Copies of this chain bind each other. A is one copy, B any other.
């Protein structure tokens, strides 16, 4: 990998959209991008408030001249720089801005790294798919959970047939972030848009966490969700936004499944759990123990597979940065997504052959939007619904 970076000669230049000084996800993106030296954060728009945005950049180590007041300004100004303008944007602004920011960046010829959800509707997501193809741009969705090394290993195991045909899947994302009446607390920048159904998306719980769970299931299993029967609503009385969704699933191979996402699950932490049962055994993973995977083959003792185990594939081992037994976290997983897109872009730029990395792409983002729409339609009809292709 050093070789590719050496041949390319420099880190890629990234412009960030959103993620001001008080935002943990902003620091997550910036530090993940720079962690391995594939990227340098070179410019940014950090707030929808022009003055606030311009002031924030220098606090984050960004050149004041490249701390812009708006996305349009950044795209225009950076395009005019002589050879050192940004080459991609990372989008971590409120949900209702993702589509327009991404569309503008793609149209400006930039690659995009975008927080979920990629858009407000399935139609918008398909529009981004089309723009990506038209402009031949790369588009990564930061489903960080999919980039843990052992999740990558799980994917290899499942696709390699270790479990045989999949029969049953269980996935859930339980969180307590909205288990108290945050509606009654003083509004913050974040709660202002999160609690506004018009801005946070078709179903807040899906935009916030449910999409991660659905994607994780699809990513590891290699299957799409074909049909759903969903129960969607607010666990918290009198809440205007949706904080819970449970669904029965039919996967694209006919396997059955269940899905639950809840933001008002008081007492839970930030618990994502995936279990896949196949003909020959099961794979289980929990975010609480993100560096370990359970593989329980029928008739054999359960195995606990760890990041760094000797038997992992070189690609999976490369996703870790420390020896077995030294905890890594979500930052390193995020960094894997940034690293993979960078490598793909550098190789393309150099005209080299490139094996596309497994990071989530805009097509995955579009499937998520179709899933969300199908869940809502199912809930309203009280019946099963197909997930649009």
Residues of A within 8 A of B (CB): 2, 6, 11, 21, 24, 27-28, 31, 34-37, 59-61, 163, 167-168, 170, 172, 174-177, 179-180, 229-231, 233, 235-236, 244, 246-248, 256-258, 260, 262, 264-271, 277-282, 287-291, 295-306, 309-311, 321-332, 382-384
Q: From the candidates B27, B179, B244, B383, name the one contacting A383 in the complex (CB within 8 A).
A: B383
Known contacts A21-B2, A168-B262, A327-B290: A309-B301 contact under CB 8 Å? yes
Question: Does A265 contact B248, Cβ atoms closer than 8 Å?
Answer: no
Can you show 26 pairs from A to B with CB atoms below 8 A apart? A27-B321, A28-B322, A31-B35, A170-B260, A175-B325, A176-B298, A179-B298, A229-B229, A231-B248, A244-B256, A246-B258, A267-B280, A268-B296, A269-B306, A288-B325, A295-B301, A300-B303, A301-B306, A301-B311, A321-B331, A327-B329, A329-B329, A329-B331, A331-B331, A382-B383, A383-B383
Using Cβ atoms and an 8 Å threshold, which residues of chain B touch A305?
Answer: 301
Using Cβ atoms and an 8 Å threshold, which residues of chain B touch A174?
Answer: 277
C-alpha spacing A387/B31, complex, angstroms: 43
Using Cβ atoms and an 8 Å threshold, which residues of chain B touch A301?
Answer: 295, 303-306, 309, 311
Nearest CB in chain B: distance from A159 CB, A:
18
Question: Does B300 contact A311, Cβ atoms closer than 8 Å?
Answer: yes
State the number of copies, please: 4
Using Cβ atoms and an 8 Å threshold, which residues of chain B touch A270?
Answer: 323-326
Q: A270-B324, A299-B310 are in contact. List 15 more A-B contacts (CB 8 A).
A: A27-B321, A34-B34, A37-B60, A168-B265, A262-B277, A267-B281, A287-B327, A288-B325, A302-B303, A302-B306, A303-B304, A304-B304, A328-B330, A329-B331, A331-B331
Q: From the candidates B267, B311, B332, name the one contacting A329 in the complex (CB within 8 A).
A: B332
Question: Does B167 contact A235, Cβ atoms closer than 8 Å?
Answer: yes
C-alpha spacing A308/B143, complex, angstroms: 22
C-alpha spacing A235/B230, complex, angstroms: 21
Question: Does B233 contact A231, Cβ atoms closer than 8 Å?
Answer: no
Question: Does A2 contact B59, Cβ atoms closer than 8 Å?
Answer: yes
Nearest CB in chain B: distance from A38 CB, A:
11
The 5 A-B residue pairs whose C-beta atoms are closest, nearest first, are A270-B325, A267-B296, A267-B281, A267-B282, A269-B325
| Of listed A24, A290, A322, residue having the most chain B CB within 10 A | A322
